Chains A and B, each alone.
Chain A
Amino acid sequence: MPRWEYLIRRLILSVLVLLGVTVITFTISRVVPSNPAALWVGPRPTQEQISRAREILGLDKPLPVQYIRYISALLQGDFGVSVRTHQPILTDLRTYLPATLELVIAAMLIALGIGLPLGVLAGAYKGTLVDAIARLIAVACVSMPTFWLALLFQLIFFSNLHWLPVSGRLSTVIKLTHPIEQVTGFYLIDSALAGDWELFRDALVHLILPAFTLSTYALGLTIRMTRSSMVEVLQERYITTARAAGLPEREIFFKFALKNAIVPTLTVLGLSFVYSLTGAILIEVIFSWHGLGTYVTEAVLAVDFPVIIAVTIIVTVFYVFINLALDWFQAILDPRVTLG
């Protein structure tokens, strides 16, 4: 299959998957609940609210008509109104999404920065002590309840050592004296753009604990996948051939093995993104990080169903497109991909 054909096929498949995703969310919000209108307006609804919701949602119409209304609203970015904040959900998301993305990206960088070298080492020195330690770290990371680790980190680095702040994105003093100009919503980038290094430093120290906590699952995954892809590549015939030809071990390692082992680990990026986002739901509350996670957890407690569904859709769209981008990237890097 020619490369461009593969790329387009993947794009079309992704769009179809997204269409399926909306069918599932539609089913969850309109077919599964016994009274969708009541779910849509929140706890203790009045009769009037319910009948208005029935009208807005078009619940008296047949399901296919409801679905078409549902999807055209989604395409216009209309996710409904939050039961709790009474704001259109899209407005809420604009403030929460950048906060979470900043945290998730930081966590992914940590996971890759530590996980890739550790995985490569473990794979290269398979069966040694390094390998055993790396595997133990990996399995501990994927078994860790992050919401519990978050508490331990707070206890150690805030209560006992006084090294890092306990929670929030900025200190109160800094927030008052250094007004932040929201350009991207990423505090690190915004403060750097403004050239305000005191603000940057404050934002950075507040990011460290939540980002490290969040990175654990992705870290474990990265170590595992990098290790196994390294082991696999080192067994390839061309490595044996290179060795037989008397090439120096160092050159074999960097030029042939590492380069080819890294490409399959790219899929780790997609996975670590989704696991970091999932983790963010659990730990943002603990660190008072006002992002999607806090938004969702508060929505769960307030039975704010429209918010839960909206966040699920948004995050899934992100996930699908990240995977698409990674597939494309891989296809461009690795010519073997397009053959399959």
Chain B
Amino acid sequence: MQRWLGDIIRRNEARLLEYRRMGRAFRRDVLAVASLIVIIAFALGAIFAPWLTPYPEQGEGEPNLSEKFSPPSPEHPFGTDNLGRDVLARVLYGGRSSLSIGLMVVVIAVAIGTPLGALAGYFGGWVDELIMRVTDMFLAFPPLLLAIAIASALGNSFTNAMLAIAITWWPWYTRLVRAQTLSLREREFVAAARGMGVRTPTIIARHILPNVMTPVLVQATSDIGSAILTGAAMSFIGLGVRPPTADWGAMVSTGRVYFLGQPWFAAFPGLAIFLVTLAFNLLGDGIRDVADPQTRRSVQ
């Protein structure tokens, strides 16, 4: 066991050292660390929502009509909504759908985009041409509109909204991974593997993919923010979660009718969308800075 662990450490020594350097640089970036704390807080809030709020049944969607539109008070710090539900409870529960849509969209997009990009970059020729032209076609659409069209065609549900956004998102990863693979393909260790007769799928899996993961992860972190924003926009329009499930975008959508009289109802979920998206964007910037000192020196 110990020898096995030692082997792994020795083999990956350079990479581990690099990660430690990144960790140290990251801790110096105040904005990025603060963003990470905000994200963790929202995630914990969503996960432990039933224990954090005294009104878990309202968070789930049960109406409480005797307390409609109460302004913020000690019992209801964020006030109550048009059905008398505690807005804080709804915001905590809403984090479940918003955060999971952001995360899942990026995961699906990476899962589709990365292998396609590696294939295009590694093989070149007609494979490359085919994959990249399809990518161009998807990128020609304004992203939100394409997602709306796909979600409408699939039928209105949370899963379909998520799939629809992911389908508009993968081409970015294909482009990114292809560009990385193009330069990796010419590197000596890949040429050596080829020369030793290692099979192509193994080369891609063992030598190409691990080396493109850092830029992909950097991109993915910033993208979670935009994915959450897009998910909120979709549910604001009316595509995605169905009532009574709580969702930030849907809450702003219902609350906007009452906004000039009872602003708290739409204000807090909107603020949640803004803060989480901002946090992911800042975190993404911070990670980009530490992962890629090259751009930090030249552009930042």
Contact = CB atoms under 8 A, between A and B. Distances in A.
Contacts of B153: 28-29, 32-33, 39, 305
Contacts of A266: none
B278 A281 contact: no
A159 B140 contact: no
A32 B149 CA distance: 11
A74 interface: no
A280 to B, nearest CB: 10
Nearest to A301: B238
Interface stretch (B47-55, B61-69, B113-121, B129-137): B129-137
B252 to A, nearest CB: 5
Most chain A CB inside 10 Å of its own CB: which residue of B143, B156, B232, B256: B256
B170 to A, nearest CB: 13
Interface in B265-294: 266-267, 270-271, 273-274, 277-278, 281-282, 285
Contacts, number: 145
B137 A312 contact: no
Given A143-B225, A300-B238, A320 B144 contact: no
A154 B274 contact: no
A281 B145 contact: yes
A300 B145 contact: no
Contact of A32 (B137, B150, B260, B282): B150
Contacts of B298: 231-232, 235
Given A28-B150, A300-B152, A301-B238, A148 B270 contact: yes
B236 interface: yes
Nearest to B136: A17
B148 A145 contact: no
Contacts of B141: 21, 24, 312, 316, 319
A24 B236 CA distance: 25
Interface in B149-192: 149-150, 152-154, 156
Nearest to A274: B142
Nearest to B139: A17
B182 to A, nearest CB: 15
B208 interface: no
Contact of A148 (B143, B146, B225, B252): B252
Contacts of B146: 24, 312
A155 B258 CA distance: 11
Interface in A120-152: 139-140, 142-145, 147-148, 151-152
Interface string A139-180: 110111101100110110011000000100000000000000
A309 interface: yes
A21 B138 CA distance: 7
A154 B260 contact: yes
A63 to B, nearest CB: 16
Given A20-B136, A145-B232, A139 B278 contact: yes
Contacts of B134: 20
A96 B225 CA distance: 31
Nearest to B276: A143
A159 B238 CA distance: 27
B273 A145 contact: yes
Contacts of A309: 149
Contact of B263 (A16, A155, A282, A305): A155
B39 interface: no
A24 B260 contact: no
A275 B152 CA distance: 21
B140 A148 contact: no
Chain B interface size band reads: 35 or more
A274 B88 CA distance: 35
Contacts of A278: 142-145
A17 B134 CA distance: 9
A267 interface: no
A228 interface: yes
Contact of A300 (B148, B277, B282, B285): B148
B8 interface: no
B142 A315 contact: yes
Interface in A5-61: 13, 16-18, 20-21, 23-25, 28-29, 32-33, 39
A53 to B, nearest CB: 15
A28 B259 CA distance: 36
Given A155-B260, A308-B148, A316-B140, A145 B274 contact: yes
Contact of B259 (A155, A277, A315): A155
Contacts of A143: 225, 229, 274, 277-278, 281
Contacts of B239: 300
Contacts of A158: 260
A20 B145 contact: no
B17 interface: no
A296 B156 CA distance: 15
B259 A282 contact: no
Given A28-B150, A143-B281, A151-B263, 14 more contacts: A140-B278, A142-B226, A143-B229, A145-B252, A151-B259, A151-B267, A151-B270, A159-B260, A278-B145, A281-B144, A282-B233, A300-B152, A312-B145, A315-B142
27 contacts: A13-B136, A17-B137, A24-B137, A25-B149, A32-B150, A33-B153, A143-B225, A147-B233, A147-B253, A148-B266, A151-B252, A152-B267, A152-B270, A154-B259, A158-B260, A235-B298, A274-B142, A278-B143, A282-B233, A282-B236, A282-B237, A300-B152, A300-B237, A308-B149, A309-B149, A312-B141, A312-B149
The 3 A-B residue pairs whose C-beta atoms are closest, nearest first, are: A148-B270, A20-B137, A143-B278
